Amino acid sequence: MFTRITLFLMTNIAILAVLSISMRVLGIDQMLAADGIGINLTGLLIMAAVIGFAGSFISLAISKWMAKRSMGVQLIEQPANSRERWLVETVRRQAERARIGMPEVGIFDSAQPNAFATGMNRNNALVAVSTGLLQSMTQDEVEAVLGHEISHVANGDMITMGLIQGVLNTFVIFISRVIGTFVDRVIFKNERGFGIGYFVVSIIAELILGVFAAMIAAWFSRHREFRADAGGAELAGKQKMIASLQRLQQYQQEQSDMPGELAAFGISGGLKHGIAALLMTHPPLEARIAALKNS
């Protein structure tokens, strides 16, 4: 994981450096200064990166704690019955096959069949299933769902999505501040500090750009779901994985009952239509089933 984080951070630092150099070579810095805007683009890029990645990493660092609190997850520390023993042993067996540390295992109260995995470290994660999932699925189907979530952990999806979100946050903050400053200085003719035009336009631009960033993050998330399905099929069996997704089709609904940051790591992400489909964290179940059948 350390190597993955290091390479990803180095790549994005390089991107920021290239952007900064390109803006100087193309004369954008000079052009803005000549128009009286005078933005320190390099400094703004660094500030945006610090803010963008800090928020993403803080969210990732407290993800397990937030999941336990927001979903009321009851950890299985000492299995109280055969079902809990089976859950823990299945997760342990799959974790060993995936070569990751044993995750914490928990159950949360929800009538909706669902499950999720979270945590900053692939060797210190949390896998939780809903009471609705345990009641509505067979043991083979639950095993496949657990395999799907273990695959998320093994693939490092939590840290990868956190890093992607950090990059998106950086560019949203940077571009919205540039637009706000341009409007404030050129249109509102403000020559000192930052006026009302800067704050209003920056906020509006950040909201609009934030929607586009969310669409990009959702696209990455949907791609990642296919990989987790393939991993679940490898750990539990292809037919079991297909059967679990077919079972979820019977309970598919418009909205997931999990918070947004957890819904992205659930087995089922709800159902959306129209433009809202671009914000779906999960591909349609039909597409996931077809992908498995054709693999």
Please report how many Cα atoms fall inside a 13 Å half-sphere around the Cα of residue 219, on the Cβ side. Answer: 9
**Selected residue with higher pLDDT from 194 and 97:** 97
Residue 258 banded pLDDT, cuts 50, 70, 90: low
Taking each helix axis from N to C end, the angle separating 157-182 and 196-236, rounded to the nearest 10 degrees, works out to 160
Handedness of CA 35, 37, 40, 41 (dihedral sign): negative
> Hey, what amino acid is at 232?
G
Superfamily for the 72-138 domain: Metalloproteases ("zincins"), catalytic domain (3.30.2010.10)
* Predicted model pTM: 0.79
- Residue pair 117/126 in contact (Cβ under 8 Å)? The answer is yes
Residue 42 banded pLDDT, cuts 50, 70, 90: confident
Is-catalytic flag, 149? Answer: yes
162's tokens = 């956190």
Q: Note the pLDDT tens digit of each residue in 91-127.
A: 999 999 999 999 999 999 999 899 999 988 889 999 9
**Selected residue with higher pLDDT from 283 and 260:** 283
Section 11-16 average pLDDT: 53
- The gap from C-alpha 180 to its chain's centroid, in whole angstroms, comes to 28
Q: Indicate which residue of 104, 141, 143, 149 is catalytic.
A: 149
Tokens 């210190």 appear where?
A: 124
pLDDT given for residue 117 in this prediction:
93
pLDDT given for residue 34 in this prediction:
46
Q: Is the pLDDT of residue 191 over 80?
A: no
Q: Is the pLDDT of residue 151 over 90?
A: yes
pLDDT given for residue 8 in this prediction:
47
- Residue percentage of the chain with pLDDT more than 90: 45
Section 212-216 average pLDDT: 91
Q: Note the pLDDT tens digit of each residue in 225-237.
A: 999 999 999 999 9
Q: Domain extents for the chain?
A: 2-63+157-293, 72-138
pLDDT given for residue 18 in this prediction:
57
